[in-house]
Amino acid sequence: MLTQDFIIIEYDPIYAKSIAEMWNNSGEGWNGDNTHHSETSVRDKEAISSHLNLYLALMGDKVVG
């Protein structure tokens, strides 16, 4: 079995593009969600979010969770 290391980091707007790519690539797994997300839409959504903290899983520079 091949394993890859990942790290958990707190959200930073520099990852908005990678988050959008992850959401766009996984829409089918979310009840067929076909919403297109962009770097700007992710930044805008997170700028007004009520999250206390938001964490991301990174493999290299790619957001995977």
Residue ranges making up the domain that contains 31: 7-63
pLDDT score at 25: 86
Distance CA 64, CA 56 (A): 8
pLDDT score at 38: 93
**Within-domain flag for 2:** no
**Structural domains counted in the chain:** 1
Task: Give residue-wise pLDDT tens across range 35-64.
Answer: 788 999 999 999 999 989 999 999 988 999
Whole-prediction pTM? 0.80
**Within-domain flag for 1:** no
Task: Give residue-wise pLDDT tens across range 5-38.
Answer: 899 999 999 999 999 999 888 866 666 667 788 9
**Within-domain flag for 41:** yes
**Within-domain flag for 18:** yes
Burial of 42 (0-12, 13-18, 19+ CB in 10 A): buried
pLDDT score at 2: 64
